Structure 1
């Protein structure tokens, strides 16, 4: 269930994504953070599918972002329509090197450069049923708390002055 690699010094990276996908992800995460969203990468959904990014908005909306870094990446992956069952809004995120006209009009579109991102097209809303919202939110909370605990345990003693220790201890809240 966790995505943490025991062979990586950074417990928040799992090593499955390309450098380009990580660049897109960082920019979207920064944008969503500016929008006051809580963001989680690589969340396994009840369907067994894994969302590249999922966020909870200040209003409680659940957004899923599917990251695509090339035309071929988009063409070979046909699982993305299943994500609609688990979110209020579905977005694609990419970078300037990918033609934007390949992405479906009925999904949001975000372009990232790694330092930030811009929503080019808002995603249409399709509200989740309350039981599904509760299930996704509960899963989000459990996984986020579990990852935070693992990150804290991997940093050693809290208060050693490390950046990670400050984050996991709540000093940055």
Structure 2
């Protein structure tokens, strides 16, 4: 491997980190590797201040995009759907679909360069997903606090 060349998991981690920093700056609560009722896991799920749900599918390279066609299944679980890629990613291969927004990201930050068309979830699914996101985040925080051990608790 050439010097400076990143492998797929490293790229995915860096893009995901940039996306979560963007969402934190937007005051959107987010969870990575969020499990869905369908058994799939989305790369990032976020809840905005008005209760809107966004899903982000991170793609590290062209091969990753072509090997994984499950993104269509995520549209039923969000109000907005985004692909997140590096600035070097060949964007022309991404679908020209108004339901698909685009986020460019690196490990430090990200920017929404194309917003996703808003598709409102029905109330029952929104409630179910919001509760699942909150419970998943709370469980993960609990594990983190437990791992900190006695006397070294995590401040929230």
SS at match of 1:64: strand
* 1:18-33 alignment runs, 5 A limit: 18-33=9-24
- Aligned position for 1:129: 122
List structure 1 segments (4+ residues) > 2 angstroms apart after TM superposition. Answer: none
Distance in 2 between residues matched to 1:39 and 1:72, nearest whole Å: 27
User: Which consecutive residues of structure 2, in runs of 5 or more, have no partner in the other structure?
Assistant: 1-7
State how many pairs are aligned: 147
Are 2:42 and 1:62 equivalent residues in the alignment? no
Match of 1:87 among 55, 78, 93: 78
Distance in 1 between residues matched to 2:58 and 2:51, nearest whole Å: 22
**Normalising to structure 1: TM-score of the pair?**
0.82
Query: RMSD across aligned C-alpha pairs, in angstroms?
Result: 1.2
Distance in 1 between residues matched to 2:9 and 2:148, nearest whole Å: 25
Match of 1:119 among 112, 123, 128: 112
User: Which consecutive residues of structure 1, in runs of 5 or more, have no partner in the other structure?
Assistant: 1-16
Distance in 1 between residues matched to 2:84 and 2:15, nearest whole Å: 7
Distance in 1 between residues matched to 2:65 and 2:89, nearest whole Å: 10
- Aligned position for 2:94: 103
**1:100-138 deviation line (CA, Å, top 9, x unaligned):** 111123200001111000111001111000010011111
Match of 1:157 among 144, 150, 155: 150
Are 2:64 and 1:78 equivalent residues in the alignment? no
**Normalising to structure 2: TM-score of the pair?**
0.90
Name the structure, 1 or 2, with higher relative contact order (CA <8 Å, separation 6+). Answer: 2
